[in-house]
Structure formats: structure tokens, C-alpha cells
Amino acid sequence: MKRVVIYTTPTCQHCGIAKQFLAEQGIGFIEYDLSKDHQKMAEIVSRTGRASVPIIEIDGEFIVGFDKNRLAKKLGM
């Protein structure tokens, strides 16, 4: 099973779409709300150079934004 982490904010529409897609596919994930977790925000910006959301981390690799095809491929779908 792949480790999936999604970094979000409450006002991000694509974050909701990404979470819904993962849930519909039966993919469990850990979620961090970057509007509340400033330490995670600093960490993710340091690791990716990006501050936009959603950022989806799959086994240590990052997808910035919701790219359904790329996400499905990375998840082996």
C-alpha cells in the first residue's frame, strides 16, 4: 500500500476534488491543513519550493495540483 499525504487548505476547490477522487478509489490518505499547520507549510515549501495546494505526496514524491491522470498512474491505477 502506498503512503499518500495531501496538503490542503479549506478554501481550495481542487483539494476537495482530489480528496473525493482518492476516497472514491478507496485510497486512504493523511491530510494536513496548511492554513492551520504553519510548521507543515514551511516544511512543504522547503521540500517542494511551492506554496500552492493541493500538494499530494505519494511515497515521498510530490504532485503539485490535481492531475487526475498523473495521480492515477502514480497510484498504479
Output the pLDDT for position 44: 93
Query: Confidence band (pLDDT; 50, 70, 90) for 51?
Result: confident
Q: Residue written as cell 502506498?
A: 2
Domain of 19, in residue numbers: 4-74
CATH number at residue 40: 3.40.30.10
Q: Percentage of the chain with pLDDT > 90?
A: 87
Within 10 Å of residue 72's Cβ, how many Cβ atoms?
Answer: 12
- Which pLDDT score, from 0 to 100, does residue 2 have? 82
Whether the predicted pLDDT of 77 surpasses 90: no
**60 is written with which cell numbers?**
515521498
The answer to whether 8 touches 19, Cβ cutoff 8 Å, is yes
With the CA atoms of 31, 34, 35 and 36 taken in that order, what torsion angle do they form, in degrees rounded to the nearest 10? 70
Domain count, the chain: 1
